[in-house]
Structure 1
Amino acid sequence: MERESMDFDVVIVGAGPAGLAAACRLMQIANDTEQPLSVCVVEKGADVGSHILSGALLETSALDELFSDWKNMDVPLDSAVTHDEFHWLSADSAKTIPHKLVPKSMNNDGNYMVSAGNLCRWLAQQAEALGAEIYPGFAAKELLIDEQLNTVTGVLIGDMGRDKNGTKKDTFVAGMELRAKYTILAEGCRGHLGKQLIKHYHLDNGKSPQHYGIGFKEVWRIPAEQHQAGKVIHTGGWPLTEAAGGGFVYHMDNQLVAVGLIVDLNYRNPHLSPFDEFQRYKTHPLLAGLLQGGERIAYGARAISKGGFNSLPKMSFPGGLLIGCDAGTLNFAKIKGIHTAMKSGMLAAETLAEAFIKGVEAGKDLDCFATRMEQSWLHDELHSARNFGPALHRFGTVLGGMFNYIEQNWFGGNFPLTLRDDRADYRSLGKAADFAKIDYPAPDGKLTFDRLSSIYLCNISHEENQPCHLLLRDQQIPISSNLPLFDEPAQRYCPAGVYEIVTTADNSKFVINAQNCIHCKTCDIKDPAQNIRWITPEGGSGPNYSGM
Structure 2
Amino acid sequence: MDFDVVIVGAGPAGLSAAIRLMQKAQENEQELMVCVVEKGSEVGAHVLSGAVFEPKALDELIPDWKEKGAPLNTKVSHDEVYYLRGDAASTKIPSFSFPKTMHNNGNYIVSMGNVCRWLAEQAEAMGVEIFPGFPASKILYDEQDNVVGIQTGDMGLNEAGEQKDSFMPGMELRAKYTIFAEGCRGHLGKELINKYQLDADKSPQHYGLGFKEIWDVPAEQHQEGLVIHSAGWPLTGELSGGGYLYHAEGNQVVCGLIIDLNYQNPNVSPFDEFQRMKHHPIFAKHLTGAKRIAYGARAIAKGGLNSLPKMSMPGGFLVGCNAGTLNYAKIKGNHAAMKSAMITAEVIADALKAGDEGQSDLTQLQDKFEQSWLYDELKSSRNFGPVMHKLGVFLGGAYNTLDQNWFGGKLPFNFTDNTPDHANMKLAGECSKPDYSKPDGKLSFDRLSSVFLSNTNHEEDQPVHLQLADPTIPLVNLEKFDEPAQRYCPAGVYEFVKSETGENQFQINSQNCVHCKTCDIKDPAQNITWVTPEGGGGPNYPNM
Q: What's the TM-score bracket when you normalise by the shorter of the two chains?
A: over 0.9
What does residue range 207-218 of structure 1 map to in structure 2 within 5 Å? 207-218=202-213
Residue equivalent to 1:299: 295
What does residue range 183-202 of structure 1 map to in structure 2 within 5 Å? 183-202=178-197
Residue equivalent to 1:412: 408
Residue equivalent to 1:514: 510
Please give the per-residue CA displacement for 1:103-151, whole angstroms capped at 9, x wherever unaligned. 01111000000101000000000001111100000000000011x2110
| TM-score normalized with structure 2 length | 0.99
SS of 1:299's equivalent in the other structure is: strand
Note if 1:342 corresponds to 2:347. no
Note if 1:32 corresponds to 2:14. no
**Cα distance in 1 between the residues matched to 2:122 and 2:341:** 15
**Cα distance in 2 between the residues matched to 1:282 and 1:506:** 38
Larger deviation: 200-209 or 222-231? 222-231
Residue equivalent to 1:310: 306
**Cα distance in 1 between the residues matched to 2:30 and 2:357:** 16
What does residue range 9-28 of structure 1 map to in structure 2 within 5 Å? 9-28=4-23
Q: Percent identity?
A: 61
Work out which of the residue numbers 88, 91, 101 in structure 2 matches 1:92. 88
Q: CA deviation at 1:503?
A: 3.0
Q: CA deviation at 1:288?
A: 1.2
Note if 1:526 corresponds to 2:522. yes
What does residue range 393-404 of structure 1 map to in structure 2 within 5 Å? 393-404=389-400
SS of 1:373's equivalent in the other structure is: helix
**Cα distance in 2 between the residues matched to 1:12 and 1:230:** 34
What does residue range 62-211 of structure 1 map to in structure 2 within 5 Å? 62-90=57-85, 91-146=87-142, 148-211=143-206
Q: CA deviation at 1:361?
A: 2.8
SS of 2:259's equivalent in the other structure is: strand
**Cα distance in 2 between the residues matched to 1:61 and 1:407:** 23
**Cα distance in 2 between the residues matched to 1:35 and 1:16:** 25
Q: CA deviation at 1:294?
A: 0.4
Work out which of the residue numbers 442, 453, 461 in structure 2 matches 1:457. 453
Note if 1:226 corresponds to 2:221. yes
What does residue range 355-504 of structure 1 map to in structure 2 within 5 Å? 355-479=351-475, 481-503=476-498
Residue equivalent to 1:239: 234
Q: Please tell me the residue identity of whatever aligns with 1:395.
A: L
- Number of aligned residue pairs: 541
**Cα distance in 1 between the residues matched to 2:403 and 2:283:** 31
Q: Where does structure 1 differ by over 6 angstroms across 4 or more consecutive aligned residues?
A: none
Q: CA deviation at 1:309?
A: 0.4
**Cα distance in 1 between the residues matched to 2:450 and 2:398:** 36
**Cα distance in 2 between the residues matched to 1:396 and 1:487:** 27
Q: Please tell me the residue identity of whatever aligns with 1:244.
A: S
SS of 2:66's equivalent in the other structure is: helix
| TM-score normalized with structure 1 length | 0.98
Please give the per-residue CA displacement for 1:2-29, whole angstroms capped at 9, x wherever unaligned. xxxx000000000000000000000011
SS of 1:200's equivalent in the other structure is: helix
**Cα distance in 2 between the residues matched to 1:268 and 1:110:** 38
Q: Please tell me the residue identity of whatever aligns with 1:76.
A: P
Kept in 2: contact 1:78–1:115 (CA 8 A): no
**Cα distance in 1 between the residues matched to 2:351 and 2:338:** 20
**Cα distance in 2 between the residues matched to 1:399 and 1:160:** 52
Q: CA deviation at 1:310?
A: 0.3
SS of 1:72's equivalent in the other structure is: coil
Please give the per-residue CA displacement for 1:237-267, whole angstroms capped at 9, x wherever unaligned. 0111141000001001111000010000000
Q: CA deviation at 1:32?
A: 2.5
SS of 1:25's equivalent in the other structure is: helix
RMSD: 0.7
Please give the per-residue CA displacement for 1:340-380, whole angstroms capped at 9, x wherever unaligned. 00000100110000001101131000000000000000100
Residue equivalent to 2:323: 327
